[in-house]
Amino acid sequence: MAVRERNNIYLPVKAEVVEKRHLSADVSLFTVRPDVPFDYRPGQFFMVSLWGAGEVPISVASLRKEGAKRSQQGGDLIEFCIRKAGKVTSLIHDVEKGGFLWIRGPYGRSFPLEYATGREMLVVGGGIGLAPLRPVIQWALRERNSIKKVSLLYGARTPDDLIFRDDLKRWAESGVNVVLTVDRATDGWDGNLGVVTTLWHKSEIDFREAVSFICGPEVMIRSAINDLFFFGMPEDRIITTLEAHMKCGVGKCGHCYAGRLYICTDGPVFSFREIKEHNLL
Amino acid sequence: MIFLTIEKARLREFLDAVSNEFRLIVPEKKGKSTYIFKEYTDFSRVALEFLRTIIPPKRFFFPPCETLLSYSEREGLTAVTEDIPFTVIFGVHPCDLHGVNILDRAFSYGGRDSFYWSRRERIGFIGLSCLPDRYCLCKSMHTDFIEDVYDLFLYTLDNVYMVSVRTAFGDDLTRLKSALFKSPTKKEILEYKRRIKERDSMFTRIMDITNLADLLTLEYKSEVWEEYSRSCLYCGSCVMVCPTCQCFDVYDTTDLTEGISYRIRRWDACMRKDYALVAGGHNFREDRPSRFRFRYLHKEIGFAEMHGRPTCTGCGRCSETCPAGIDMVEVVRRIRE
């Protein structure tokens, strides 16, 4: 017999796609309106699914509006930035505006944004790794009076792979020190070349005083945290978010086990101190 | 806790009474020396002196494959929780009862798993004492004795079973046929004590787990992992028969004619190559040694640091089942060398 249980942790909520924006050849931003409101913070993720395709963990790419109205039509908008990378995400990419995704969450530990209060903030991103950092920068701009300076180092494979280009422009206009770089230039690119970790000198950050938030491919994270530690940034203030294979998001399926930790419930946000202590990278 | 006794010759009457009220699962002989848990049909088929079943009792509340959710345009979203009849599993040994306890913790951590608990809450256990064979490792893992999880536990004596009544449900079970149960005599108590001592001296297989977590950490890069990873077939048999392996995969299928999608979970094994593979092609444990090592590290350190005890119950199934003849005791001995 089938029974519907309301507190079942695996039950997803229907969310209408109200906007779908192509950010690059294989990355799209899905703006969804779930049937019920969710409270979430930057760095947390949802299990996003499409019936018949499956579930994947996707971090939130938007900042929840403070005191957002919980209207009767459902919750406020949530944005998910999804790269066509595997079977499930490819099928999700076929969903257009007006279609539906199913979400459950939010899961995991969020970025400790309060560390940035009264300090300088350095944001380091690579490729689609900018997605979970976007709400961090949005938060910093909202709290600009209490944050001394915001600097963003962001790199991608080619200029076309740089995502959130509108936001990058807007952030630069709002006073964020935005430094971009690409691995391979295409016609019309006259900016930096090479990986983000060659651009520390352009960050205009006092490494010893600042807090850093990092997300990108594993090699980038690895060299970024080592460099920042070498420059004197305390290991508690070097913060990154890790990726793992996940099937449940709630600390049971075992796939994201790392040492004594579950990436899904204990992470995905970790400080360099925790990464060293638990041998996570 | 109350102690009672029941005459061995009258166990049939008791099990018949239990099976009249509940679905009763008992150990039965399957092959020459293999046993399985099966629905009770007749007392003559019940294996009273057996070692381990091929698959531990976990499959009754954490089945190898189950549908979690279904969705269709017409019916909407449904959580498929099976309404199982109240079940009593008879003949569960201390190691497997410890295994149940470990799974209970794993499926409660991070939020209650409705699918697991909808079955688990409707299962009672009648434990049964056992004598070790050459694979039994419970003494080393401190799981040779159990004082929790079960409802009734039967200790085999010469003419009677000494029955430990642990829960109110266990008490209810004895009341189904209360005329069968008596208070233990002084002689039976003495015999119980003698049996414990005898059993204790029968263990031939000892694994020294002193400082094991430390040693595994120190020998993280040991060539022992490399060496065993060459003979391991990565078939996952050890995982399938383990009473505490909890890992699962979740995937969707669609019945196109009915237009219904199902979200299904099934047992998964950490040594499979794509276990830690993420979209885009990065694999956190691609090489064979790290996949072989991971299971040991999780069982002896990872889980222990989360829940305060290692997950190995010393049941001996993995060593007995491994087609490549890999013996956990031998692996640990090599690490200890």
A188-238 per-position pLDDT tens digit: 888 898 899 999 999 999 999 999 999 999 889 999 999 999 999 999 999
Are the CB atoms for A123 and A108 separated by under 8 Å?
no
Q: Quick one: pLDDT at residue A5?
A: 54
The class level of CATH for A113-278 reads alpha beta
State the pLDDT at residue B103.
94
**Rounded to 5 degrees, what angle do the CA atoms A36, A39, A41 make?**
145
Question: Do the Cβ atoms of B50 and B136 come closer than 8 Å?
Answer: no
- Domain pair A13-107 / A113-278, same fold: no
- pLDDT exceeds 60 at position A3: no
Q: Give which of B72, B104, B250, B295 to mutate to test A binding, by max A Cβ within 10 Å.
A: B250
Residue B280: predicted pLDDT: 65
> A10 to chain B nearest CA, in Å?
8
Q: Sorting pLDDT into bands at 50, 70 and 90, what band is B281? A: low
pLDDT at B219 (0 to 100) = 86
pLDDT band at residue A1 under the 50/70/90 scheme: very low
Residues sharing a CB contact under 8 Å with residue A140, sequence separation 6 or more, in sequence order: A113, A116, A121, A147, A150, A176
Confidence of residue A2 (pLDDT cuts 50, 70, 90): very low
For A13-107, which CATH superfamily applies?
A: Translation factors (2.40.30.10)
Q: Which residues pair with A41 in a beta bridge?
A: none
Q: What is the mean pLDDT of residues A79-99?
A: 93
| pLDDT computed for residue B272 by the predictor | 81
Query: How does pLDDT run across B230-246, given as a tens digit for each residue?
Result: 999 989 899 999 999 99
Domain extent listing, chain A: 13-107, 113-278
In chain B, which among 22-81 make CB contacts under 8 A with chain A? 68-71, 77-81
B 239-268 residues inside an 8 A Cβ radius of A: 246-254, 261, 263, 265, 268
Q: Which ipTM was obtained for this model? A: 0.83
CB contact under 8 A, A4 and B246: no
Partners of residue B28 on adjacent β-strands: B36, B46
* pLDDT the model gives residue B134: 86
Average pLDDT over residues B305-313: 84
Closest CB from A5, A53, A259 relative to B81: A5
Out of B79, B250, B284, the one facing A8 most closely (by C-beta) is B79
From the list B77, B246, B251, the residue facing A252 with the nearest CB is B246
Instruction: Give me chain B's average pLDDT, please.
Output: 90
The mean pLDDT of A8-14, rounded to a whole number, is 91
The C-alpha atoms of residue A177 and residue A197 are separated, in whole angstroms, by: 16
Task: Please check whether residue A86 touches B, CB under 8 A.
Answer: yes
Neighbours of A219 (CB within 10 A): 13
B52-69 per-position pLDDT tens digit:
999 999 999 999 999 999
A223, exposed or middle or buried, with CB in 10 Å at 0-12, 13-18, 19+?
Answer: middle
**What would the mean pLDDT of B186-215 be, rounded to a whole number?**
90
In this prediction, residues B247-251 reach a mean pLDDT of: 93
Task: Please list every residue in chain A whose beta carbon sits closer than 8 Å to the beta carbon of residue B80.
Answer: 2
At B148-184, the pLDDT tens digits run 899 999 999 999 999 999 999 999 999 999 999 999 9
User: What pLDDT score was predicted for residue A4?
Assistant: 46
pLDDT at position A135: 95
